[in-house]
Structure 1
Amino acid sequence: MKDIKLLVPDLPESISTAILLKWKKKCGEFVKLDEILVEIETDKIILEISAPIAGILHKKIFLEGELVKSKDILGIIQNSNNQIILKEKNKPVIIKSIQKNLKQSKKLKLHNITHLSPSNRRLQRFHELHNNKNRNLNLKEISKNTKNISNINHFSKNLDFKKNENNSYQLNLSIKSHNDNIQKIPMSPIRKKIAERLSLTQKNSVMLTTFNEVNMSSIIKIKNKYCDFFQEKYNIRLGYMSFFVKAVIEALKKFPILNSSKEKDTIIYHKFYNISIAVSTSRGLLTPVLKNAQNMTMSDIEKKIKYFSKIGESGKLQFEDLQDGTFTITNGGIFGSLFSTPIINPPQVAILGMNNIQKRPIAIQDKIKIQPMMYLSLTYDHQIIDGQQSIKFLKYIVEILQDFSKIML
């Protein structure tokens, strides 16, 4: 019998620790080669760690919720050279000795808890009876051993039985009361990192936000006219974000200072345009990057954004997907935001905020007309960028969006 160590993979230098999110197998269970065995969560993504060999999960060194580092030993897998695997209908069947261990590992035991009140001990007997072979026991039979059936119903809702490593159940003494009005949940790694980065930005930059508004009627006409053609040719829906990415790139070419980054007392100018797109997921806000977006078509942009949204929700974004952005676009308008003051994504020096499109009366050639209007917000680091540059930059974006033919010229 040979022991194989299950290791945490190499993490990037910017990530010191990760949290063990979930074990997929229990101790004593058989694992296949390359079967996903553990999930760990960094401050950016979820990593899936697969079994390096086929064997039995013998030991777990780290448990769910604990912090791990690169090359930490997560657990031990036992590999037997004498292990016999039979095939039945193309499915592996484990030898009887292993099957016996698996059956034993599934047996449930309830620890004797002597410090509970009489009503809680009645509940304990209820669970012992419930886990026996006779699963047809009704409340009348149980009531012979209890004075008040309502106690069982009450405590069964509020007591929490947790399963231990030895596959037995033990009462979690943090009993939830039906009168509790609060719930305490630890911050996830990604939420901690977001808080850390936002605090760092507030501390190390002088942020100022300038606003403008854009008449979206021209973009809406183009979108409505070519949406079916675009969908049929590229198999992707034409959205607003690709228009904004194109407009931003043209504006960055004219005002390169907004495509720079700050490194201590140095300003780094980038001759490429890596546009970070803010994507909201159930785990938090992520900003995957459209690398070299100046070389992407509008269909390329829409497909990449859809891809980022899909894998971002599942937590399967790669580290390289989140690195090396030079400018960020965030769209709070999809949630109904009318105004926003977005926070810079360091080490970048500016971020553009899109907002909700609303029909409003505006003056066009001395006539009042109802037009679809959007407020734009540009937050920038005043240490690096002057107000004049930021205002002209945002105004140029507005001009492009209101006459998108400028892109071709």
Structure 2
Amino acid sequence: MAIEDIKIPQMGESVAEGTIGTWLKKVGDRVEADEPIVEVETDKVAMEVPSPVAGVLVEIVAEEGEDVEIGALIAKVDTEGKADSAPSPAPKEEKAEKPEKAEAKESAPKKEEKKESAPAPSPSSSSSDELMPMSPAVRRVVEDYNLDPASIEGTGKDGRLTKADVMSAIESGSARTLSQPAVTANTSPVAGPREERVKMTRLRKRIAERLKDAQNTAAMLTTYNEVDMTAVMEARTKYKDLFAKKHNIKLGFMSFFTKACCLGLKEIPAVNAQIDGDEIVYHNYANIGVAVSSPNGLVVPVLKDAQGMSFADTELSIANYGRKARDGKLTVDDMQGGTFTISNGGIFGSLMSSPILNPPQSAILGMHKIQERPMAIGGQVVIRPMMYLALSYDHRIIDGREAVTFLVRVKEALEDPTRLLLDM
């Protein structure tokens, strides 16, 4: 027997401890090298910890919900061991025994009557693992969204579902939901307890602390404008196929907004600055944070040196961050160093909102839903695709004139994308 210790890996200079989330393997399971075995949540990111070696998980030292320090022992793997259970012979033997069981049932009518009197399980209550084995993390997402796992194509080992498969199916709308039983007059509208208490995750607590600190510390103010998205939508429609063919990525709106913000930050450097004690730190680069929704909460990975990135670089980076967020693979380095943030509430249908600052940054741009509205242009009323923009900023460092000017520059660049090429 050769035992290998599994310890919490280093997750960044400022991360000292984490919380054990869901164990993806149980004692006796076979694990491969670099295969995720447990989810660990920190105050910055939730990530999966892989096994450094192949073998059998023989001991779990840290239980789910337990706080552990970086470098702490959490499990042990026997590199020479064999898994407790054989993978597939058992179901085949059960199938072979079915004819014999049928004969036994004929000679035992009492047992048959008991089985007939038992209520048949509903599709939603039957275990989906009988049809498709899933890890605890994947099963949790499937149950939260009430999905039929059979409607999702798995890309994992032996066709198993991964978290990325489920989240992609949810976004594309291809996943079917399980039918809910109809509520009749004789059925109580509330099944189970009326309330449920769930402990906040470490990441959610950290998000709450940071947002409240921003409200308590900064002199936060929001200014609004609206942008006519006609030119951007026409450019996107005209070049999206050619762009996808050349760069193997879809042309989205975020690359236009990122480039427009870089131009605005260059002209109004206060929007890209931050307060450090009694000093103002001006950044001569633009590290744009892009707010991404993940199963564990809102995270903000950073496009480093976005001012020098092409449209393709921006779209590829955002797509990569989105996948990493869904799979729980974002690192602390992915989310550090931001100087300005863009939040797109429009993908969820938000028409207008006031985003909260992401400390220590001094400003954040909120994008919203594109909606056709009647606009007065050249003395005529025409229908245009419009989007409300919101810039929240720290009034201690950014004056109203600077905030409004920045937002107008972003609006001008989007309504005339030629400015993005000419750096105007």
**TM-score, with length taken from structure 1:** 0.75
* 2:301 equivalent to 1:331: no
Within 5 Å, give how 1:91-110 maps onto structure 2.
Answer: none
Q: For the residues of structure 2 that align with 1:205 and 1:236, how far apart are their CA atoms?
A: 38
The aligned counterpart of 2:18 is 18
The 2-side partners of 1:139 and 1:392 are apart by 84
The CA distance in 1 between the partners of 2:229 and 2:345, in whole Å, is 16
Answer yes or no: is 1:64 the counterpart of 2:64: yes
Q: CA deviation at 1:16?
A: 3.2
Distance change (3 Å), C-alpha of 1:140 and 1:182: farther
Question: Deviation per CA, 1:314-335, whole angstroms, max 9, x where unpaired?
Answer: 1111221111011001111111
**Per-residue CA distance 1:328-382 (angstroms, 9 max, x = gap):** 0111111111111000111100000111111112221222222111111000011
Letter in 2 for 1:255: I
Change in CA separation of 1:302 and 1:102 when aligned onto 2, cut-off 3 Å: closer
- Is 2:44 the partner of 1:44? yes
1:304 aligns to what?
Answer: 317
Structure 2 residue corresponding to 1:371, chosen from 370, 379, 384:
384
| Residue 40 of structure 1, CA deviation | 1.6
1:343 is matched with which residue?
A: 356
The alignment's TM-score, normalised by the length of structure 2, stands at 0.72
Cα distance change, pair 13–180 in 1 and its aligned pair in 2 (3 A) = same
**Aligned partners of 2:12 and 2:333 also within 8 Å:** no
Which 5+ residue runs of structure 1 have no aligned equivalent?
A: 84-93, 104-132, 158-176
Identity among equivalent pairs (%) = 42
CA deviation digits over 1:93-123, x for unaligned, max 9? x6xxx67x668xxxxxxxxxxxxxxxxxxxx
1:218 counterpart residue number: 231
Cα deviation, residue 403, structure 1? 1.4
Determine if contact 2:11/2:331 at 8 Å carries over to the other structure.
no
1:2-401 → structure 2 map (5 Å cutoff): 3-29=3-29, 31-78=31-78, 140-141=110-111, 178-401=191-414
- Cα-Cα RMSD: 3.1
Output the amino acid matched with 1:73.
L
For residues 366-406 of structure 1, the C-alpha deviation after alignment (integer angstroms, 9 at most, x for no partner) is: 22222111111000011111111101111111111111212
Could you tell me which amino acid in structure 2 is paired with residue 141 of structure 1? K
Aligned length: 341
Residue identity matched to 1:355: H
Cα offset for 1:185? 2.2
Change in 2 beyond 3 A, CA 1:221/1:33: closer
- Cα drift, residue 304 of structure 1: 1.1
Q: Measured at CA, do residues 53 and 226 of structure 1 come closer, stay the same or move farther in structure 2, by a change above 3 Å?
A: closer
- CA 1:335–1:231: 2 relative to 1, 3 Å: same
Q: How far apart are residue 264 of structure 1 and its match?
A: 2.8
Query: Quick one: structure 1 residues 275 and 35, their matched pair in 2 at CA, closer, same or farther if it must change by over 3 Å?
Result: closer
Q: How far did residue 298 of structure 1 move?
A: 0.6
Query: 287-296 vs 261-270, which deviates more?
Result: 261-270
Greater percentage in strand: 1
| Cα distance in structure 1, aligned partners of 2:214 and 2:66 | 28
Q: 1:334 is paired with a residue of what secondary structure? A: helix
Matching residue of 1:86: none
- Say which SS state the counterpart of residue 198 (structure 1) adopts: helix
Closer, same or farther: CA 357–178 of 1 in aligned 2, 3 Å: closer
Structure of greater Rg:
1
CA contact (8 A) 2:29 2:56 kept: yes
CA contact (8 A) 2:11 2:332 kept: no
Unpaired runs of 5+ residues, structure 2, are 87-99, 126-189
CA drift at 1:13: 3.6
